[in-house]
């Protein structure tokens, strides 16, 4: 029976939650201080209908303070410009796409937040109500490992071979490679590799926060379509409702759709070029300073980093000082690459 462990890592400016499934990260939840909670999954708001596009059964909503969302509706439903609705965020916005909401009913007044989203701790408990939440050093290690895996592309499979996961604007492509996986019967080896890979692919897609159209390039030929469909249904069961799985095609691929809900982890952690953002690196630096402050009580700590990271760190450095005292100095240095962290004691 699969076992899930829950971890909560709290640092100045950022809280991370991790779910481990059989020892491997399955979910990475990130909440940052200062982000717009109105656009987080589960938030409830009052919205005004700004425009209606009957041809695509979609209304565009004004959430206030320049925030927008879209509301899909059934063809027999009618919405009017200026209508005031209570709505709930069902899909967080992602790069180039607006948040998607569901209507809860009519409302009154101006656009505003009615109910904030659940905290990271509450979201962890919703994923497994029976598991205890682990904090402290173990949680930090688990969150750092989950973050590294969420940004990786190629993942080894037990017994040999690997899986590669890459995204495009249209879909997420997954390639299963046999690699050095060996066995006396090639057909049996490829069958085992495909069946094992589906479990890991489902977990990794949840970890990365990826949904929409998924195309899996299976290894080998002459696939056992019934066995693969059964394995896929079991692997993607936790993502229901809303998962649709197609049969194995004559090209040796399996296509499925997984509901989009949270913003992809890669978009949270990286900028448009794919590099770790200044805010992400600042979070790593703040955690490093926190760890060093605990390891070296009373020491004055100095960090060197790029100017954009220094600006992000500056907003949360007072939180460290409240807990450990005024013993932190952050120096911006144009010669330091963004992803380089240099922390030492004076």
Tens digits of per-residue pLDDT, 62-96? Answer: 999 899 999 999 988 989 999 999 999 999 999 98
In terms of phi and psi (left: phi > 0; alpha: psi -120 to 50; beta: otherwise), the region of 222 is left
The Cα–Cα gap between 168 and 141 comes to 30
Q: Model's pTM, two decimal places?
A: 0.92
The C-alpha atoms of residue 61 and residue 82 are separated, in whole angstroms, by 9
Give the chain's end-to-end CA distance (angstroms, integer). 51
The DSSP H or E segment spanning 142 is helix 137-150
- In this prediction, residue 3 carries a pLDDT of 84
124 contacts 19 by C-beta, under 8 angstroms: yes
**Among 15-24, 171-180, 275-284, where is mean pLDDT lowest?**
171-180
Has residue 179 got a pLDDT over 60? yes
User: What digits encode the pLDDT tens for the residues 36-69?
Assistant: 899 999 999 999 999 999 999 999 999 998 999 9
Strand order, beta sheet including 328-332: 328-332, 301-305, 342-345
| pLDDT reported for residue 184 | 55
Query: What is the distance between the alpha carbons of residues 120 and 122, in angstroms, rounded to a whole number?
Result: 5
User: Which of these, 70, 73, 72, 52, lies nearest to 61 by C-alpha position?
Assistant: 70
pLDDT confidence of residue 158 = 86
Question: CA 59, CA 50: separation in Å to the nearest integer?
Answer: 8
**Rounded Cα gap, residues 297 and 181, in angstroms:** 50
Decide if domain 4-36+121-146 falls under CATH 2.10.25: no
CB of 269 within 8 A of CB of 150?
Answer: yes
Yes or no: is domain 42-115 CATH 2.60.120.10? no
Please state, in angstroms and rounded to a whole number, the distance separating the CA atoms of residues 89 and 230.
32
DSSP for 241-293 reads SS-EEPPPPTTSEEEEEE---SPPHHHHHB-TTSSBPHHHHHHHHHHHHHHHH
Hey, what are 112's tokens?
């505003």
Please work out, in degrees rounded to the nearest 5, the angle formed at the alpha carbon of residue 170 by the alpha carbons of 166 and 173: 30
Residue 229: both structure tokens together:
């469909």
201 Cβ partners below 8 Å, 6+ apart? 163, 165, 174, 176, 216, 235
pLDDT tens for residues 221-249? 888 999 999 999 999 999 999 999 999 99
Residue 160: the pLDDT is: 86
151-265 CATH? 3.40.630
**Percent with pLDDT over 70 in the chain:** 98
Contact call for residues 12 and 137 (beta carbons, < 8 A): no
Contact, 114 vs 46, CB < 8 A? yes
């Amino acid at each position: 029976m699969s076992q899930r462990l829950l971890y909560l890592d709290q640092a100045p400016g950022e809280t991370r939650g991790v779910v481990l499934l059989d020892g491997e990260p399955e979910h990475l939840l990130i909440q940052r201080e200062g982000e717009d909670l109105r656009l987080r999954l589960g938030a409830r708001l009052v919205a005004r209908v700004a425009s209606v596009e009957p041809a695509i059964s979609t209304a565009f909503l004004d959430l206030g303070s320049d925030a927008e969302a879209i509301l899909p509706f059934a063809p027999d439903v009618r919405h009017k410009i200026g209508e005031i609705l209570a709505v709930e965020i069902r899909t967080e916005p992602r790069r180039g796409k607006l948040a998607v909401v569901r209507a809860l009913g009519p409302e009154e007044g101006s656009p505003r937040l009615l109910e904030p989203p659940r905290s990271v701790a509450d979201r962890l408990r919703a994923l497994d109500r029976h598991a205890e939440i682990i904090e402290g050093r173990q949680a930090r290690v688990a969150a750092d490992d989950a973050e590294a895996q969420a940004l990786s592309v190629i993942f080894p499979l037990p017994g040999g071979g690997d899986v590669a996961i890459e995204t495009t604007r249209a879909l997420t492509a997954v390639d299963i490679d046999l690699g050095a996986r060996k066995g006396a019967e090639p057909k049996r080896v490829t069958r085992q590799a495909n069946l094992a890979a589906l479990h890991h692919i489902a977990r990794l897609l949840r970890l990365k926060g990826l949904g929409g159209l998924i195309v899996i390039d299976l290894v080998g030929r002459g696939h056992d379509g019934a066995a693969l469909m059964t394995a896929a249904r079991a692997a993607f069961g936790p993502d229901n409702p809303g998962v649709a799985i197609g049969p194995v095609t004559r090209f040796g691929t399996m296509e499925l759709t997984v509901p989009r809900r949270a913003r992809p982890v890669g978009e949270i952690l990286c900028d448009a070029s794919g590099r770790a953002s200044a805010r992400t690196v600042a979070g790593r630096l703040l955690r490093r300073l926190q760890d060093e402050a605990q390891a070296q009580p009373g020491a004055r700590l100095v960090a060197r980093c790029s100017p954009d990271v220094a600006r992000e760190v500056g907003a949360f450095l007072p939180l460290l000082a409240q807990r450990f005292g005024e013993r932190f100095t952050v120096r911006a240095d144009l010669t330091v690459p963004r992803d380089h962290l240099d922390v030492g004691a004076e």
